[in-house]
Amino acid sequence: MSEFRAKEYIKSEEGEIVYRIPLQNDLWIWVYSTVTPKTGVSRNRGEDAIRTVLMYHNWKAVMKVSKTLRTENWKENLREKIKELSERVTDQICPDGHPLVRRTARTGGHFLGCSMFPDCDYIQRKSAKPKPN
Ligand SMILES: [Zn+2]
């Protein structure tokens, strides 16, 4: 996991290994794996999909992406999902001091919304576009 910049790992309540990748503004990517680091083997077939979650402050799940199945090219797929979540992180902060993340609107576009949603529903309005000459 070192190639994914995970500094450390913890165990979830279910005994699952969770690798934590630090990003900015106290945002982290947690990579849940059922694979034990010693053996590199997952405990149960069917339960061995890898989950990636963007976390704030190590307790607030901000967003998830689809599971990575342990197929031949799982490393590539996992790297892609970590990248996908990393790109959601911004250096902006809401008025209450929570980090803003790039969220996907139902219409498909992106907007900056609070990582504490739904507890904080702050959305950064886009500044008006400059008028063409
Ligand atoms: Zn907020």
Rounded to the nearest angstrom, the distance between the alpha carbon of 122 and the centre of ligand 1 is 6
Binning pLDDT at 50, 70 and 90, where does residue 2 land?
A: very low
pTM above 0.95, yes or no: no
φ/ψ bin of 100: left (φ > 0), alpha (ψ from -120 to 50), beta (otherwise)? beta
- Give, in order, the Cα–Cα distances in Å from 32 to each of 12, 80, 85, 90: 9, 15, 14, 23
Whether 36 and 43 have beta carbons less than 8 Å apart is answered as yes
At 54-113, the pLDDT tens digits run 999 988 999 988 888 878 888 899 999 999 999 999 999 999 999 999 999 889 889 999
5: CA distance to ligand 1 center in Å?
Answer: 27
CA 61 to ligand 1 centroid distance, Å: 14
What are the start-end ranges of the E strands in 23-115? Answer: 27-33, 50-56, 60-68, 89-93, 99-104, 110-114
Torsion of CA 72, 78, 79, 80, to 10 degrees: 100
